[in-house]
Structure 1
Amino acid sequence: MTHTGLPDGFLWGVATAGHQNEGDNLASDTWFLEHTTPSLFREPSGPACRGYQQWETDLDLVAGLGLNAVRFSVEWARVEPERGVVSAEALDHYERKVDGCLARGLAPLVTFSHFTAPHWFAAAGSWTAADAPGRFADQCARVMARFGDRIAYGVTLNEPNLEQLLQAGAKLPPEAEALKARMLVAAARAAGTDTYASANVIPADRQEEFQEAFTRAHRAAREAIRASRGDLPVGVSIAIADEVAVPGGEERRDAKRAAVYDHWLREARDDDFIGVQNYERIVHGPDGEVRVEGELNGMGTVIEPGSLAGAVRYAHEVSGVPVLVTEHGIQTGDDTQRAAFIPAAVEGLAAEIAAGTPVLGYCHWTLMDNFEWIFGYGAQLGLHEVDRETFQRRPKPSAAAYADVVRSHGGVPTASRD
């Protein structure tokens, strides 16, 4: 153990995602939806941060912060841009990236699907198609065959419960849900198919259907990954707020947990860990959510560093498996808020670990400001800003604040997959 009580081998990292960072993900469902009329997306992703070209520079940034892990996704749409057509170039690229991580002492934490999927997959029934689990398992198997021996953790799906979380908290106005529906109808028409769907723009009336589909896909992926390498820790990541109750609000809190989180936390009992992705705390009263006084983040909720420890505690209590914080951050254009938020949240996490909750590591979302899905480039969560013309990365004060946190907790050992 280190002097802070954090376990030996604790992972300190950042999280990124291919579509949001790499740019020009032309064969993906999200790219297709961004260019559909009408579209729920504020703007197209375009070149994003040009991360596909600048991956070596970006890994240098991660290593330069004194971290020992980086989470990133392998984009299925790049690997299999057409049904049955596998891109050797894309697999070569991601293999180089994995080796680049190891060369810099960074443990590669690989996400096999971070929302996006190939356009052909979305047009052929998406995740609810009968053959979807098998096709996703095939993708996982080909990735594992290429460089699965060198990755440290495998995350099958990113936030399969996100839409339930958004709808349970009424985060999107009714007009946004209506626009989503029109976009998907238009996309199906443009693709020449009966339906079109993508993992993070699911209609409200298809939530249960997609939860069942994602569950089948997760299980098939887990089996394929373990068949290739039985010792690789595998899990799923979920979006989870810290749900707390004032007197009289317990029933509402518990109903929210049951509707949004508990299915996946129970599913994780057969996994090696549960990925926790936390950004806020929600307070429940007898009549609904309670507005708490305090400084607000860009999501409109009070900045609460203690939300991370609370979310981690509940995730472990229900799942019974170790927690890997696969994402945690704050949406804000004021980086002084982020610079103060990170150390306070990590201190709370360290206290939770000291109290007995097993936590494998912490990944901050995200390395740099990037494409934040339907919000485009308006939402800022990065430790670095990106010049939208030159794509130069510039560190914010929060990058140094995070590096200081890592150093204050004893630094990090050399990355290892053992």
Structure 2
Amino acid sequence: MNFTRADFPEGFLFGAATAAYQIEGHGFGGAGPTHWDSFSKGPGNVVRGEDGAVACDHYHRYEADLDLLQAGGFDAYRFSTSWARVMPDGRTVNPEGLDFYDRLVDATLERGLKPFQTLYHWELPSALADRGGWANRDTALAFADFSEVISARIGDRVASTATINEPWCVAWLSHYLGHHAPGLRDIRAAARAMHHILLAHGLAVERLRGMGRKELGIVLNFERALPASEKAADVRAADLQDQIYNRWFLEAIAHGRYPEGALEGLAPHMPQGWQDDMRLIAQPIDWLGVNYYTRSLIAAAPETPWPSLTAVEGPLPKTQMGWEIYPEGLHHFLLRARDALGLPVHVTENGMAWADQVEDGGVADAERQGFVADHLAAARRAIADGVDLRSFFYWSLLDNYEWAFGYEKRFGLVHVDFETLERTPKASYHALKSAITR
């Protein structure tokens, strides 16, 4: 690694991130079924039909996993609290679920780590999915209740709370493109989910403010959309992709509006009276989380339905996911976040998947080391350009259940053998430890 802790501002936090359904083992502790459990059983939805029933068994092994963070010299742990674990039917409290997160937060603090909580990282209770999920406004109201219940138990001890992780994935990827649960390809459902997920954010912030909670934010995922050519049609297509993917959520939170180009296609399918929710959605927050992985090259596709665009393969080196490695995009979005909100920013996810294997008791992943170093260099440039960047969380601490890719794609700093569940820190873990502890 080509940096040390001294290259970052005093108090800057280095951490690693995880998500509940991806690591905990949803078959333990009285957790209820989720739409990911049923989605995984559909033909072709998830590699080998795998689900999160066992995952990394973090539910029983959390203390050893937190020991890895402490031993690695990290400052903070970003985790999510599963709605379906705390409320198996979306509404009725499961005491075992609350007790687990109580133990997890205490164990995090005992190791000198700051707990960064995310309320929702995609595991919608099946009982709510049965009633329309995020296409139904009632789900946003139920989410506010969940946020109050979990915060009443652990909110006094977490360093910060994010309402939603990656609303674009929750809404567009899952309801229009159909790649994630619930696997819909329905523009009406997508438009409603695009709005209701932000309404859920606004309702949760309102509820938590009423409880006296501070350090509230949201985590948005950003992807740089660049035109595949200089043709005017491709330039317009890239701009529209940027509106749908990036600006829809950022402008709603920062300015209480949706971008005109995206709204042109979605407005006919939006819920009645959606405009009345925008003030609630745009209420003040304390920080913004930026998740960033890659860029896309966008071309016009006039023969397809709105938004009539497609991504084309780019020339840059790619990760195991097939995503181009483009650190400049992180710098771009950190500046965009600064300009839109003028708030503290956290890099809440950044990382890469690689086909890692244990050899001679270790995992050599020079590619990941270079990826981290280059993206942290982009973060340093953003700080020099005036971004109030407070932290960097690598995704992910552990190899885990990678949603539609099952257990095939490995993002972790720590290798997990999914048969024995043995953990093996990779070379990138040791390199990052060396950089932030010297």
Partner residue of 2:413? Answer: 383
Structure-2 residue corresponding to 1:349: 379
Q: Distance in 1 between matches of 2:159 and 2:328?
A: 28
Matching residue's letter, 1:40: N
Which residues of 2 match residues 312-351 of structure 1 at below 5 A? 312-334=334-356, 335-351=365-381
Match of 2:95 in 1: 88
Name the aligned partner's letter for residue 197 of structure 2.
F
Alpha carbons of structure 1 residues 199 and 290: separation in structure 2 relative to 1, 3 Å: closer
Q: Does 1:8 align with 2:10?
A: yes
Q: CA deviation at 1:130?
A: 3.5
2:295 aligned partner, one-letter code: R
TM normalised by structure 1 equals: 0.83
Distance 1:226 1:76, change over 3 A: same
What is the TM-score with the length of structure 2 in the denominator? 0.80
- What's the secondary structure of 1:157's corresponding residue? strand
Q: Give yes or no for contact 1:297–1:332 (8 Å, CA) kept in 2.
A: yes
Instruction: Quote how far apart the aligned CAs of 1:342 are.
Output: 0.6
Q: Does 1:20 align with 2:22?
A: yes
Report the Cα distance in structure 1 between the residues aligned to 2:102 and 2:5, rounded to whole angstroms.
Answer: 36
Q: 2:124 is matched by which residue type in structure 1? A: A
Task: Please give the secondary structure, in 2, of the residue aligned with 1:401.
Answer: helix
Change in 2 beyond 3 A, CA 1:109/1:312: same
Matches within 5 A, 1:51-200: 51-82=58-89, 84-162=91-169, 166=173, 177=178
SS in 2 for 1:203: coil
2: distance between equivalents of 1:118 and 1:289?
32
- The one-letter code matched in structure 2 to 1:227 is G
Unpaired runs of 5+ in structure 2? 255-283, 302-309, 357-364
Change in Cα spacing, 1:31 to 1:115, as seen in structure 2 (3 Å) is closer
Gaps of 5+ in 1: 181-197, 409-418
Letter in 1 for 2:323: T
**Residue 306 of structure 2 corresponds to which residue in structure 1?**
none
SS of 1:115 mapped into structure 2:
coil
| Compared CA separation, residues 346 and 165, structure 1 to 2 (3 A) | farther
What's 2:194 paired with? 211
AA in 1 matched with 2:221: A
- CA gap of 1:8–1:227, structure 2 versus 1, over 3 A, is farther
Rounded to whole Å, the distance in 1 between the matches of 2:209 and 2:150 is: 12
* 8 Å contact kept, 1:167–1:204: no
Q: CA separation in 1, counterparts of 2:54 and 2:5?
A: 44
Task: Measure the CA separation in 2 of the matches of 1:114 and 1:344.
Answer: 27
Range 367-376 or range 328-337, more displaced: 328-337
**Cα distance in 2 for residues equivalent to 1:404 and 1:310:** 28
The C-alpha deviation readout for 1:333-377, integer Å capped at 9, x for no partner, is 152211111112111211211111121211110011100011100
CA spacing shift, 1:98–1:167, aligned 2, 3 Å: closer
Contact 2:84–2:90 (Cα < 8 Å) also in 1 = no
Tell me which of 277, 289, 311 is aligned to 2:291.
277
Identify if the C-alpha distance between structure 1 residues 32 and 300 changes in structure 2 by more than 3 Å, giving closer, same or farther.
closer
Kept in 1: contact 2:17–2:78 (CA 8 A) = yes
Equivalent pairs counted in the alignment come to 381
- Aligned partners of 1:315 and 1:372: how far apart in 2? 27
For the structure 1 residues 241 and 265, does the alpha-carbon distance in structure 2 shift closer, same or farther, using more than 3 Å as the test?
same
Counterparts of 1:216-227 in structure 2, within 5 Å, are 216-227=199-210
Question: Within 1, Cα distance between the matches of 2:244 and 2:35?
Answer: 26
Name the CA distance, whole Å, in 1 between partners of 2:245 and 2:316: 26
Residue 331 of structure 2 aligns to a residue in which SS? helix
Partner residue of 1:258? 243
* Structure 1 residues 242 and 4, CA gap change in structure 2 (3 angstroms): farther
Q: 1 CA distance for matches of 2:394 and 2:316?
A: 23
Q: Which residue of 1 aligns with 2:37?
A: 32
Q: Secondary structure at the match of 2:148?
A: helix
Q: CA RMSD in A?
A: 2.7
CA distance in 1, matches of 2:182, 2:354: 22
Q: What's the % identity of the aligned pairs?
A: 32
Deviation for aligned residue 1:73: 0.7
SS in 1 for 2:14: strand
- Cα deviation per residue 1:91-126 (whole Å; 9 max; x = unaligned)? 111011111111111111101110012121211221
